Structure 1
């Protein structure tokens, strides 16, 4: 199979195709196994070389996959296709070599789309700066409540190249901007953009490029769903787009009427009729941005033909993932909340908007994003701020500009006890009725392996504080 044939995409026989997979992560390993099972000669390249990766390489050898560690820049001889994992930057030398050689580059999502069989399950896809995982899991719960064999896949954890080869009625697909950047023919049945705010600008280069990647989820023929309350999302929808809003819905929208989630988009007569989907109390955890997530999930499910009562039952059955506005403890009238998943300013703003008075714990890697708008909007809700991490100085400077009367404590430490000092400082600043909110507005990798580890450290520090009283 030459490069042109590979570009066309074959769901069955890949015999003879020489494929280079960029990255030995979960999606890279899954893509390599699937392609090798179909007869491709697969080489994985990864710049890192450590004990864990050598163990992964040994496991893949049983599938006939070659792994080249310590060199992620050189294109293997004879390569007809490169399949990249989501995190690899577009300007990586490997891709420059592929372009120079006329070799196409697929993302693992694009590969999965092309691997689908003739009776493949339709995709209901969503993207956005924040809320993707919550919304896609809500969607899967709603589809399951309607009696469908549905699974949440994509950026949510299950490798999509494996899921498309299984028998399912429908796939709930979470897509990141990285994955969409490398996609060209993916065409979901219906798709939603939750929101668009500055994030990953160090990867995409600009907000315009980031938004353009998000917009690729709306393929020709896809039922488009946008967030009417979010200018970035709304701008990506065409004249036929459906929408969701936290306000009273107009025809063609889903929204909120008093304490009800209501559909005026996927009903027989959107002008004269509406259908009740659920109550606000059915959405957990309760916060304005999570109501928006539920409405987006409901819109995609309704586009697939799910009845209204399944939306209610699915939302009630949904179990939130950890580190998303999760209550940790209430101590001396102060509520401690872990929203470590708020890894960008837009997510942190949503968390802060749900608090009347917060001691804000923030900091980390801002990924090129600006925090001035976040701080200016949240200033009136801030009792105090406790800052940690590599770019805490940028948040401190924004607080000095936009909230000069808010007390700020910086914790420069990066050792294992740093979070204890952060929590103790926050507790000393808090008053009964306040929320001590971990909503960092930045990534965790400067101090922690991931946002989950950061949230776990916060929760453990709160428990130690409780035990000391």
Structure 2
């Protein structure tokens, strides 16, 4: 966005620079502190002016940082650089003003990349619509099993800024990157990177599927060793073809089927590598068994293959892939079995906050009583419902945008009974689970896979999953 004074792609001297940090919160406050500590004149602008924002502002002002609350659209005079929180939309007036003034805009990831020292750890980067956190955590477990000092960073674990500016030295970093972060990270160049999948998500932020895909594809720019793509998702391979990478960098696919040369895949219950072996046209290396992946749902096996591909690109031996996957413990609220009640399994996949994630979850069970709904974020549900219709015993709908799912069910699964709960209080989830129990038969799975964000009813997907688990426990009490 422009070509202001702070433009180098290497370590930057921030002394005396006038830097505007856009947004308080999990990325803005650390960025402001780091930049202030590096001698910059920092001004933070923030849309909100609530109690939390005022407390954060007081903390920063005590250090000597200027904070403007309730005014996130105006570019402070004399700004050399804007560092934005990843969630701020590109069409904000602040960014238009920066572009007119020739002022560059970075995100927190770009700032972290620019702050790396001369002996900085390489980045193995992961993006995609779904599975990022799981894959990065699997990757970190594999790297640790190989004896490497690493951390899962980005949207999870250690802060990226802390990882690159702290005293602790890493051999390699496993980095989760969202499309928001990649949009604002023009000079990022990873050792190797993976795009796990692409499906419509955050289109209200990006404006179009093409723009969303283009931002995801930025993760491949400048890769040195491997661009890892999903052989079942042609769009990810197309992004590799379009990327400008270093000479010698290879395209490496992963598949749930038998792998071709330059791919990782599955043969008779074994995860195998035909990419990072000698004579890959004739040879394959066994990495792990499908049973080493927890849970062994198809989309999670794909996550494991992507993590293995990135680890192998970094030179990790096959045995460490197996040991790392065995050591990995899945996060809560990701296809987590809560309990069996009267012969019915109750599964919490509250993390399925979009249609692509819900599709993978629904494909893992049959028959299903599906609990769905929340904030649609611009999504449509026809393809999801049409694909799952044959597996559905019944559906319980919750949340603000549930009508969109109800209408898709009427079009593509009119025979499936639907319970529409028009309430958003704390007891809504308990009633949803009770209605699901009424619809379910022994051998069924009651699946919370909302296909929507949670913030209309809950603080986040974690709270939604906890409410589901508590309601299930009350059934069995």
TM more than 0.5: yes
Give the distance between the partners of 2:109 and 2:24, measured in 1 at CA: 16
Q: Which residue of 1 aligns with 2:260?
A: 250
- Secondary structure at the residue paired with 2:34? helix
Q: Which residue of 2 aligns with 1:445?
A: 455
Matches within 5 A, 1:98-247: 98-166=98-166, 167-222=169-224, 223-238=226-241, 240-247=250-257
Q: TM-score, normalising length from structure 2?
A: 0.95
1:394 aligns with 2:394: no
1:365 aligns with 2:375: yes
- Secondary structure at the residue paired with 1:236? helix
Q: How big is each residue's C-alpha offset from its partner over 1:377-434, in whole Å with a ceiling of 9 and x where there is no partner?
A: 0001100000011111110010111111000000010011111110100000000111
Contact 2:190 2:222 (8 Å CA) reproduced: no
User: Compared with structure 1, are the counterparts of its residues 427 and 165 closer, same or farther at alpha carbon in structure 2 (3 Å cutoff)?
Assistant: same
Quote how far apart the aligned CAs of 1:157 are. Answer: 4.5
Matches within 5 A, 1:46-85: 46-85=46-85
Quote how far apart the aligned CAs of 1:36 are. Answer: 1.1
Contact 2:395 2:418 (8 Å CA) reproduced: yes
Contact 2:9 2:187 (8 Å CA) reproduced: no
Contact 2:4 2:81 (8 Å CA) reproduced: no
Q: How big is each residue's C-alpha offset from its partner over 1:262-312, in whole Å with a ceiling of 9 and x where there is no partner?
A: 000011221111111111111012200000000000000000000000001
Give the distance between the partners of 2:193 and 2:54, measured in 1 at CA: 39
1:16 aligns with 2:26: no
Contact 1:26 1:159 (8 Å CA) reproduced: no
Q: How big is each residue's C-alpha offset from its partner over 1:358-383, in whole Å with a ceiling of 9 and x where there is no partner?
A: 00000011111111001000001100
Q: How big is each residue's C-alpha offset from its partner over 1:73-123, in whole Å with a ceiling of 9 and x where there is no partner?
A: 111121110011111000011111111221110111111111111111000
Unaligned runs of 5+ residues in structure 1 are none
Give the distance between the partners of 1:180 and 1:311, measured in 2 at CA: 28
- Secondary structure at the residue paired with 2:15? coil
Unaligned runs of 5+ residues in structure 2 are 243-249
Give the distance between the partners of 1:233 and 1:138, measured in 2 at CA: 20
Corresponding residue to 1:428 among 435, 438, 447: 438
Contact 2:151 2:157 (8 Å CA) reproduced: no
Quote how far apart the aligned CAs of 1:158 are. Answer: 2.9
Q: TM-score, normalising length from structure 1?
A: 0.97
Contact 1:37 1:63 (8 Å CA) reproduced: no
Give the distance between the partners of 1:400 and 1:338, measured in 2 at CA: 25
1:347 aligns with 2:350: no
1:304 aligns with 2:310: no
- Secondary structure at the residue paired with 1:26? coil
Corresponding residue to 2:296 among 286, 295, 298: 286
Q: Which residue of 2 aligns with 1:317?
A: 327
- Secondary structure at the residue paired with 1:34? helix
Give the distance between the partners of 2:366 and 2:259, measured in 1 at CA: 27
Quote how far apart the aligned CAs of 1:12 are. Answer: 5.6
Contact 2:5 2:80 (8 Å CA) reproduced: no
- Secondary structure at the residue paired with 2:369? strand
Corresponding residue to 2:274 among 240, 264, 269: 264
Q: How many residues align?
A: 465
1:456 aligns with 2:466: yes
Contact 2:5 2:103 (8 Å CA) reproduced: no
Give the distance between the partners of 2:293 and 2:204, measured in 1 at CA: 34
- Secondary structure at the residue paired with 1:216? helix
CA RMSD of aligned residues (A): 1.3
- Secondary structure at the residue paired with 1:88? coil
